Chains A and B, each alone.
Chain A
Amino acid sequence: GNSVTQMEGPVTLSEEAFLTINCTYTATGYPSLFWYVQYPGEGLQLLLKATKADDKGSNKGFEATYRKETTSFHLEKGSVQVSDSAVYFCALRDSSYKLIFGSGTRLLVRP
């Protein structure tokens, strides 16, 4: 079945460091791909999305490119801030509209 695999956390960075969180997927067909972010005590919020191969999603300085050849959707940010500390989830949405999540990666940014 369809699945999403994320790098395990926590990821600890200093402010202004470069961030990469790896995400790979297994799916039939052409799923849409998403990154969601969860701040403490809150529900998940959509961060960015890409709906077809080679699309780049971007928001708030975060970027991810849909790479069909490597079945990947890695999240990157050039300079993280303390306020980016959160849990990040990679997800895919298949043809049945079910959203399948990775296990989440906790990011901690230190001043």
Chain B
Amino acid sequence: NAGVTQTPKFQVLKTGQSMTLQCAQDMNHEYMSWYRQDPGMGLRLIHYSVGAGITDQGEVPNGYNVSRSTTEDFPLRLLSAAPSQTSVYFCASSYGAEWGGNSPLHFGNGTRLTVT
């Protein structure tokens, strides 16, 4: 029962470095998404995907890239890290269009990223 797996759990970067946050799910979910969680701001959607080969921007996409080459994986890339990207990042997945809006999201346990 792996569900949604995120790696790493913690990461410290220097300004300007790049890195990839990994997300994998084993539930054959079509829909996958990335959120960032900041104090007092709830969760904000960065990017999402409704299936392999299809991605779209959420509320706060700048500074992040995604790709979806397989159903299982949805990595999030930080191109040039900035202190404003210090946050906790969550990956989440769900069944897709055939469930309409009723399917709940399943979340990973998060990656805590600090950019110095």
Binding site for B on A (CB under 8 A): 31-32, 34, 41-46, 49, 51, 89, 93-95, 97-104
Contact = CB atoms under 8 A, between A and B. Distances in A.
A46 B104 CA distance: 7
Contacts of B110: 42-43
Pick from A31, A49, A89, A93 the residue with the most CB of B within 10 Å.
Answer: A93
B62 to A, nearest CB: 17
Interface of B: 4, 31, 33, 35, 40-45, 48, 50, 58, 90, 92, 94, 96-97, 100-102, 104-110
Contacts of B100: 32
Given A97-B50, A97-B96, A103-B40, A43 B107 contact: yes
A51 B41 CA distance: 25
20 contacts: A32-B101, A41-B109, A42-B109, A43-B4, A43-B92, A43-B107, A44-B43, A46-B104, A49-B104, A51-B101, A94-B101, A97-B31, A97-B94, A98-B48, A98-B58, A99-B105, A100-B45, A101-B42, A101-B43, A101-B44
A97 B50 CA distance: 9
B113 to A, nearest CB: 15
Contacts, number: 59
What 4 A-B pairs have minimum CB-CB distances, sorted nearest first? A43-B107, A103-B42, A46-B104, A32-B101
A41 B58 CA distance: 25
Contacts of B97: 97
A91 B109 CA distance: 18
Contacts of A31: 101
B90 to A, nearest CB: 6
A49, A89, A93, A97 — most chain B CB neighbours (10 Å): A97
A104 to B, nearest CB: 5
Contacts of B40: 103
